[in-house]
Structure 1
């Protein structure tokens, strides 16, 4: 019936197959013999010790220990340093500051989350700073996990046509 359009009332159940499924039994790894039709229920019930042990082993393989979690910095959304507006992307922050805080001094929230960021440096005109320094998303042109030397070498190699 693959790829053939049909109506549900046109489907004729295979009685022999249904009978075979309903009478079939399965010997589970937990030593229980269960009807094949109830196998999923048996696993999902949490009573199957073998399935539970296999799940715990799988979880141990993929689980990450808290000390292995690398601290990440949100470089995607920003809060306005002058009011309560939050969760703005770079472009939204630029528009917001232009409209509501034009010409006012503040610490740039985009610069602060960069490796070179100084949380104490106040731009005397934040809207002008944003227009000059943040016309594009930094993550499209900079590798935040690389140092300045690696990024400079990458830029030189690209400019010479080697990458």
Structure 2
């Protein structure tokens, strides 16, 4: 019996650690998106600077084309990076005792929430199921955020190449 209790306690600790790691991966995706946004601001201003003047576009079509393509990709990368910050929801039936939105929707007083939370905390198997559900839900959120960050970084990288070519062409 003592061995089972110890095993359950270790399982719960592992569950909380897994949940924490996934939450950290979400913060990492948000941080990366913030850096991409900073990069889009810098690269966007450079792309605008290497655009030829309106009267010179016909004489420098390649420079104008590369600069415009770079600027479009910079804007797209910025929009995708902003998309990372949009609220994420996983289709999940309401009722989780651990998910903040379900708690806020369902409980209008701390006493009501506490009355439902305490039995879950006293039942390690039920708490472990709740943890598993929460881990599953936020894993999907983390996956989507990291996918969007990869798209934004790729767009920013290609924009950097295009803008660099336009900058080189502006010197010739």
Same fold (TM over 0.5): no
Band the TM-score falls in, shorter-chain normalisation: under 0.3
Structure number with greater CO (CA < 8 Å, separation at least 6) is 2
Q: Normalised by the size of structure 2, how large is the TM-score?
A: 0.22
- Whose helix fraction is larger, Structure 1's or Structure 2's? 2
Q: Highest CA radius of gyration, 1 or 2? A: 1
Q: Normalised by the size of structure 1, how large is the TM-score?
A: 0.23
